[in-house]
Amino acid sequence: MAQHADVVVVGGGVVGLTTAIALNEAGLRTVVWTAEVPRQTTSAVAGALLGGPVMTEPRDDAVRWQKTGLEIFDELATHPHSGVTAARGRLVTRMDGGTPPWARDLPGFAECSPDELAGFKAGFWITSPIADMPCYLDYLVDRLCRSGGDIEICTVASLEQPTSHAPIVVNCAGVAGGTLACDDSVTPVRGQHVVVENPGLTEFFYEGGADDDWTGFFPHGDRVVLGGNARKGDWNLEPDEAQTADILRRCAEVEPRLADAPVIKVDVGLRPGRPSIRLEEQQVDEGRLIHNYGHGGVGVSMSWGCALDVVKLASA
């Protein structure tokens, strides 16, 4: 098993890898223990939009975490192999109320013309970094190894298990983080995406404020990730054919070039739903335990801000 380290991070999704990088880069030798390789995690499924409105609790911290993240993602977008790019795209809604006042402060804001609304009630353009997640996770693994960290494939039965290998354990186990911490406020929020060959799109599209089903697409080079849905309490990781057809139909209504795009694959992930992100140290008898889980539908955008707060806790 693992060599002795300062910290064991449990979880090799975007939250665990980013946390481990931040700890290593701050001088704490950190290893990641993960049940799945990063490309098989929920994190690999995300679209992933990194800017836009913050609807997460704890709200003040979430605003700060997103701001920290955006500064880092904007910088990563200048690296050719990070998987992060700066993109222009539309945020739309089917809800009443028009364009919210905060939207005008977003980078690249411009109201959509009636044609650009594609049948939605309101919408506007912004510029935001987006991440091609399989590629971004490869970048994180490489950066983790370059910073002196390591990854081991193993499933822990409890958060006490790693304490014999390191004095500090960080719980970044996503939806399983709740089970490991005996926290029954964590719920899976199942999401399905369809990945198609890119018919030439460069701009993203995302419907905010929808409950179960939303329409959106994110171009990443020769692929486009189409979405999507959010089903609370559903643990099923099998793709659903009816949902695939529905996603393809809704996206093609907005962007007709997607109608005949060949499907590459269908991905399913379980967002770690929780009323509020849990980032805190818990008093335990053995060693030190820090939690960093429950990021719901915004784990990628929150990942850097949360990781740097874990460094502060671990260094205290």
Taking the least distance from each CB to ligand FAD, the nearer of 63 and 260 is 63
Q: Cβ of residue 225: shortest distance to ligand FAD, in angstroms?
A: 8
In sequence order, what are the beta bridge partners of 293? 278
Residue 89 found at the interface with ligand FAD (CB under 6 A): no
Confirm if 177 and 167 have CB atoms less than 8 A apart: no
**291, two tokens:** 């939690």
What single-letter DSSP state applies at residue 107? T
Residue 290 found at the interface with ligand FAD (CB under 6 A): no
List C-alpha distances in Å: 230 to 35, 57, 188, 210, 267.
24, 18, 9, 9, 13
Residue 46 found at the interface with ligand FAD (CB under 6 A): yes
Confirm if 269 and 194 have CB atoms less than 8 A apart: no
Q: Cβ of residue 106: shortest distance to ligand FAD, in angstroms?
A: 15
Residue 48 found at the interface with ligand FAD (CB under 6 A): yes
Confirm if 133 and 44 have CB atoms less than 8 A apart: yes
The reply, when asked if residue 41 is annotated as ligand binding, is no
Residues 140-169 that bind ligand FAD (CB under 6 A): 155-156
Stretch that binds ligand FAD, among 20-28, 37-45, 75-83, 88-96 (CB under 6 A): 37-45
**Candidate list 51, 188, 219, 269; residue touching ligand FAD; CB under 6 A:** 269
Residue 42 found at the interface with ligand FAD (CB under 6 A): yes
Alpha-carbon 185 to chain mean position: 19
Number of residues that bind ligand FAD (CB under 6 A): 41
**Cα–Cα–Cα angle for 28, 30, 33, rounded to 5 degrees:** 160
Q: How far apart are CA 177 and CA 171, in angstroms?
A: 6
**Candidate list 7, 13, 214, 278; residue touching ligand FAD; CB under 6 A:** 13
Q: How far apart are CA 48 and CA 18, in angstroms?
A: 15
> How many CB atoms lie under 10 A from the CB of residue 268?
18
The reply, when asked if residue 175 is annotated as ligand binding, is no
Taking the least distance from each CB to ligand FAD, the nearer of 155 and 202 is 155
Site string for ligand FAD, 167-206 (x = CB under 6 A): -----xxxxx--------------x-x-------------
Taking the least distance from each CB to ligand FAD, the nearer of 64 and 114 is 64
The reply, when asked if residue 297 is annotated as ligand binding, is yes
What's the half-sphere exposure (Cβ side, CA atoms, 13 Å) at 98? Answer: 3
Stretch that binds ligand FAD, among 77-85, 107-115, 139-147, 264-272 (CB under 6 A): 264-272
Q: How far apart are CA 162 and CA 164, in angstroms?
A: 5
Confirm if 4 and 123 have CB atoms less than 8 A apart: no
Residue 135 found at the interface with ligand FAD (CB under 6 A): no
The reply, when asked if residue 170 is annotated as ligand binding, is no
Residue 295 found at the interface with ligand FAD (CB under 6 A): yes
Sheet harboring 168-171: ordered strands across?
A: 150-153, 30-34, 7-10, 168-171, 288-293, 278-282
Q: Cβ of residue 113: shortest distance to ligand FAD, in angstroms?
A: 25
The reply, when asked if residue 83 is annotated as ligand binding, is no
Instruction: Cite the annotated binding site for FAD by residue number.
Output: 42-43, 156
Feature table: binding site:
42-43, 156, 271, 297
Per CB under 6 A, residues contacting ligand FAD are: 10-16, 33-36, 41-43, 45-49, 155-156, 172-176, 191, 193, 227-228, 269, 271-272, 293, 295-301
